[in-house]
Structure 1
């Protein structure tokens, strides 16, 4: 990756700036696909950054400034995958109480292809993210969960808390299918932007939805499932642990169609 693909506070990233990101694991981020200079749900990504900055640093970066830095990092590229991170050069384990506007790092990467092919096989793992409502940079547990799942022959891990409540995946939200209804888990989790866009438009594709507590023992009662995140609007789940689901391709395609109804917003 070329150095110019990483920017901090509106300038190409330096080794000093990147050192803080590498050595202090405190911050927040959001990521999304850019296509033809526009992003679906961009307003929600910006609101997420404002909310995260207020919660973690005590002061938000104005949305207009974040957008300006994103445009600068994109340059003349109409497509790509962007990650916007917030961090403080002054916060460390020795100085945890510093408050103030965080720095902004923007990374621009090649476009990420959505998941396709065979439905995913998921392994349930007992794990709940710390501060689950925030998209923060403490990803050790998520990466480890994914590694363990793949070691055991699965594609990824589905997370459940100590009480058996299903919440989310390592990098995605999950929805379950009962006929023509999507059932979303009710548990502490990150409210995903792609999940929100799907929820906004499901009725327009003839799909109902509800939210309720789903426990591990409830999983065989559904007739399908799908995952969703910024890179993959909807991908079918074929099995969770030892339970296999039937073909839900048509309904998952309708879920993806709901996501596509969200209008792209210019950067």
Structure 2
């Protein structure tokens, strides 16, 4: 199995150069196991939507499914697959030239065990084009690095208005008892967030959440396709219960979502 390929062929330095030097493109990351992916249709929708937004081009959904299927291990072992869409011929001087996006597909083993709860700190930052999952990760990585240097695990992004937006590479939710509250604001529409929101049978809402008012919640969690539901132990100086019973309900709801066969 190739660990990295472009349009079905082993990646070569010349075609990778544009992504490394220009850093213009978008991606989605998904977890595949036994040839199946939760929310596969939503991942494909994201890639098609973002390709139109960044390149003004249509992406072939069938081709994406084919490329994902080609890199999955034959034994069905769980892997993390990242599909990046970029144009190897795009130049800095003429980014408005007609685009011919390529598919760069990479894989890595998926974590087997449940990851430990996260301790995060807040940082004032808003991604460019927050509705697009683009490859411009400098700000996110910088703030994550600064948080880790300060003794935290990760960073929770807050807007200039002081409202919670999203995590560095994850969406965030909060629990007041069994009531699930999602932040309201400009953030990436997460696939796992959408799946979990549809699967959870308890009360839920979307509200503006001031970062200095999170102590009204009893539990908090991060969600993305790689880890599913991951508890937060603390945000800045506010502690949460990483073993709150509602978190187990959320995990069960997520794991109960049927996965879609990549082969269709």
**TM-score interval for Structure 1 and Structure 2 normalised by the shorter chain:** over 0.9
In the TM superposition, residue 248 of structure 1 has moved relative to its aligned partner by 4.2
1:220-235 paired onto structure 2 within 5 Å: 220-235=215-230
Q: Please state if 1:236 is matched with 2:231.
A: yes
The counterpart of 2:40, out of the listed 39, 42, 49, is 42
Residue 174 of structure 1, CA deviation? 0.4
- Report the counterpart of residue 256 of structure 2 in structure 1: 261
SS in 2 for 1:33: strand
The TM-score normalised by the length of structure 1 is 0.93
Shift of residue 14 of structure 1?
Answer: 1.2
Residues 1:88 and 2:87 are matched in the alignment: yes
How far apart are the structure 2 equivalents of 1:112 and 1:95?
41
Task: Decide which moves more: 54-63 or 13-22.
Answer: 13-22
How far off is 1:245 after superposition?
2.0
Deviates more, 1:224-233 or 1:91-100: 91-100
Per-residue deviation, 1:113: 3.9
Give the TM-score of the pair, scaled to structure 2: 0.94
Which residue in 2 is equivalent to 1:59? 57
Equivalents in 1 of 2:168, 2:6: separation in Å?
27
Change (3 A) 1:142 1:58: same
Distance 1:50 1:247 in 2: 36
What is the deviation of 1:92? 2.3
**Relative to structure 2, which stretch is displaced further, 225-234 or 107-116?**
107-116
Question: Could you list the runs of 5+ residues in structure 1 that have no partner in the other structure?
Answer: none
TM-superposed deviation, 1:257: 1.1
Secondary structure of the 2:209 match is: coil
RMSD: 1.5
Question: Equivalent residue for 2:150?
Answer: 152
Structure 2: where are the runs of 5+ without partners?
none
1:182-204 CA distances to partner (integer Å, 9 max, x unpaired)? 1000010001111111011101x
- Runs of 4+, deviation exceeding 6 Å: none
Give me the whole-angstrom Cα distance separating, in 2, the residues matched to 1:61 and 1:245: 42
Kindly indicate whether the alpha-carbon contact (under 8 Å) linking 2:90 and 2:99 is maintained by their aligned counterparts in 1: no
Matched pairs, number: 261
Give how far 1:261 is off: 1.9
**Mean alpha-carbon deviation: is it higher for 178-187 or for 235-244?**
235-244
**Equivalent pair of 2:232/2:242 in contact (CA under 8 Å):** no
CA distance in 2 between counterparts of 1:178 and 1:40 reads 27
Determine the structure 2 residue equivalent to 1:116: 115
With 55-64 and 86-95 compared, the bigger mean Cα shift is at: 86-95
Aligned partner of residue 91 in structure 1, secondary structure: coil
How much has 1:229 moved relative to structure 2? 0.7
* Residue 20 of structure 2 corresponds to residue 25 of structure 1: no
Structure 1 equivalent of residue 185 of structure 2 = 187
SS in 2 for 1:234: strand
